């Protein structure tokens, strides 16, 4: 695998520079490399994240992954959920969706990234970890990206540069691009936890534990006065879960102030 963690081996030029090794950047890098386009990914993290982060993979995303031959590998890492209850009373049934994937897949984001990174590297992409973008400079023939790595500032040149580095994007800031909008949710708190035992069911007549509910395609009930929010199964490790809770005391994000 061509994953670089040492500044001695970093390339000086490529055709496309992708900033950010999240799902978007890795998917694009894999597509470009599969098409025969030289591509280098700059990622500030030295290792993959051990946090769940995003955990729901929807049907359309699974269809896109399936078109690239990696959907089954991602599906094997998570739990299928064919229905869920939102806000305590709204029920959503996904089993009748006209797709090969009539469910939401619950799996930590790092599982998706791992599969996409392996695909990109197999196709010939180069992933440089521990590389923090500092600045970009564009001319009529291409773009130079300066990044810090191992205490040194290095430079890579490409014909194109793609910013896939999240909503606190260094690329977007360097280009002076706004990120306007208004949040529709005041705030949401998420945590990765390892439970000593499976949580008991909150309502009579429901399934007895999280594993059984997931096997039957039912997500645990959402926010209640006592629990504060749902407990989602996260990954294959026994007891590995992710509780969520709404915070209603935070001011909404206003236009021009990205969350």
3-class DSSP state of 137: strand
Would 3-51+112-175 and 56-107+184-246 be classified into the same CATH topology?
Answer: no
The architecture (CATH level 2) of 56-107+184-246 comes to 2-Layer Sandwich (3.30)
pLDDT tens-digit series, residues 142-172:
999 999 998 899 999 999 999 999 888 999 9
Rounded CA separation 193/210 (Å): 14
> Which pLDDT does position 198 carry in this prediction?
67
Tokens matching residue 240? 């590995």
In this structure, of 33-37, 72-76, 92-96, 234-238, the range with the lowest mean pLDDT score is: 234-238
Sheet of 143-149: strand order equals: 132-138, 143-149, 152-158
pTM of the prediction? 0.76
> Has residue 210 got a pLDDT over 80?
no
3-class DSSP state of 144: strand
> Has residue 20 got a pLDDT over 60?
yes
Query: What is the dihedral sign for C-alpha 50, 56, 62, 65?
Result: negative
In this structure, of 120-129, 151-160, 194-203, 233-242, the range with the lowest mean pLDDT score is: 233-242
> Which pLDDT does position 235 carry in this prediction?
53
pLDDT tens-digit series, residues 49-78:
767 778 899 999 999 999 999 999 999 999
Domain boundaries, the chain: 3-51+112-175, 56-107+184-246
pLDDT tens-digit series, residues 211-222:
444 444 444 443
> Which pLDDT does position 39 carry in this prediction?
97
> Which pLDDT does position 259 carry in this prediction?
38
Rounded CA separation 12/10 (Å): 7
Scanning 16-104, the segments in alpha helix (DSSP H) are: 23-34, 59-67, 71-75
Tokens matching residue 170? 């260094």
pLDDT category, 5, cuts 50, 70, 90? Answer: low
pLDDT tens-digit series, residues 88-141:
778 888 888 999 999 999 898 999 999 999 999 999 999 999 999 999 999 999
> Has residue 85 got a pLDDT over 90?
no
The proportion of the chain whose per-residue pLDDT surpasses 90, expressed as a percent, equals 49
Non-local (6+) Cβ contacts of 146 within 8 A are 133, 134, 135, 136, 137, 153, 154, 155
In this structure, of 35-49, 87-101, 239-253, the range with the lowest mean pLDDT score is: 239-253
Rounded CA separation 252/127 (Å): 37
> Which pLDDT does position 90 carry in this prediction?
81
The architecture (CATH level 2) of 3-51+112-175 comes to 3-Layer(bba) Sandwich (3.50)
């Amino acid at each position: 695998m061509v994953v670089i963690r040492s500044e001695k081996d970093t390339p000086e030029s490529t055709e496309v520079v992708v900033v950010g090794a999240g799902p978007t950047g890795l998917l694009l890098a894999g597509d470009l490399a599969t098409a025969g386009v030289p591509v280098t990914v700059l990622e500030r993290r030295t290792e993959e994240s051990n946090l769940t982060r995003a955990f729901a993979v929807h049907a359309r995303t699974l269809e896109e992954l399936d078109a690239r031959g990696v959907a089954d590998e991602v599906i094997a890492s998570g739990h299928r959920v064919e229905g869920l209850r939102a806000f305590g009373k709204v029920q959503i049934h996904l089993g009748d969706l006209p797709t090969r994937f009539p469910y939401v897949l619950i799996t930590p984001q790092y599982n998706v990234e791992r599969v996409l990174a392996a695909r990109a590297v197999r196709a010939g992409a180069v992933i440089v970890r521990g590389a923090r973008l500092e600045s970009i400079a564009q001319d009529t023939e291409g773009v130079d990206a300066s990044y810090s790595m191992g205490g040194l500032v290095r430079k890579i040149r490409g014909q194109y540069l793609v910013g896939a580095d999240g909503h606190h994007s260094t690329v977007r800031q360097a280009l002076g691009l706004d990120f306007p909008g208004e949040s529709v949710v005041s705030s949401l708190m998420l945590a990765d936890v390892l439970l000593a035992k499976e949580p008991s069911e909150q309502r009579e007549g429901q399934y007895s534990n999280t594993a059984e509910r997931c096997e039957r395609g039912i997500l645990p009930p959402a926010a209640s006065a006592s629990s504060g929010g749902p407990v989602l199964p996260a990954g294959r490790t026994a007891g590995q879960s992710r509780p969520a809770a709404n915070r209603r005391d935070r001011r909404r994000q206003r236009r021009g102030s990205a969350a």
